[in-house]
Amino acid sequence: MRGVLPEPVKDHFVVVGQGRFPPKQVIGRVTGLDRADFTTHHARRVLSRLGFAAGRRTADLAPVQSSTRGGSPAAMRRRPSAETLEPFIGQWVATSGADVLVAARDPKAVVAWLAAHGRAADSMFRVPGSEFAASGLAPT
């Protein structure tokens, strides 16, 4: 799956490398089988038995207030946690709420993925690799 951008995750996913992929995308890509020939649950079970971490997407209902100065309580939104973004250090990510929709080394690839899948992102940015890169300060 190296070099393949994951399709949108609806409910279930498997972790391949540092990406979350729909199980049917992985099995279909690796085996060449038509996705209509197996279910998501079957694909997830096979990949789990092969040692891949599998999970189910959950809704993070705890909003994070973006700013209390000059903002209203209605201006609250969820954002990905540092733990969620850690596997994507140095990459461009598109986010929607607390979810990372897609990550790639090139921002054009992220935009192309969003367009191809008809998705809109709340934000798109490059995940910094250090505190200095995040703050914009040069090391002393």
Per-residue pLDDT reduced to its tens digit, 77-132: 678 888 778 888 888 999 988 888 888 889 999 999 999 999 899 999 998 877 66
pTM given for the model: 0.60
How far, in Å, CA of 101 to CA of 120, rounded?
9
**How many Å is the Cα radius of gyration of the chain?**
17
How far, in Å, CA of 88 to CA of 105, rounded?
9
Strand partners, 125: 93
- Residue 139 binned pLDDT confidence (cut-offs 50, 70, 90): low
Provide the strand spans (E) within 51-96. Answer: 54-56, 64-65, 76-77, 92-96
Residue 74 clears pLDDT 80, i.e. is over it = no
Residue type (1 letter), 84:
T
Confidence at residue 67, expressed as pLDDT on a 0 to 100 scale = 43
Mean pLDDT across the stretch 45-49?
A: 93
Lookup: tokens for 54: 């599998």
- Residue 133 binned pLDDT confidence (cut-offs 50, 70, 90): low
- Residue 18 binned pLDDT confidence (cut-offs 50, 70, 90): confident
Pair 31, 41: CB distance under 8 Å:
no
- Residue 60 binned pLDDT confidence (cut-offs 50, 70, 90): very low
Confidence at residue 65, expressed as pLDDT on a 0 to 100 scale = 43
How far, in Å, CA of 125 to CA of 98, rounded?
14
The length of the chain is 140
Residue 63 clears pLDDT 80, i.e. is over it = no
Confidence at residue 79, expressed as pLDDT on a 0 to 100 scale = 82
From residue 85, alpha-carbon distances to 18, 27, 34, 67, 125 in Å are: 11, 26, 32, 21, 11
Confidence at residue 84, expressed as pLDDT on a 0 to 100 scale = 79
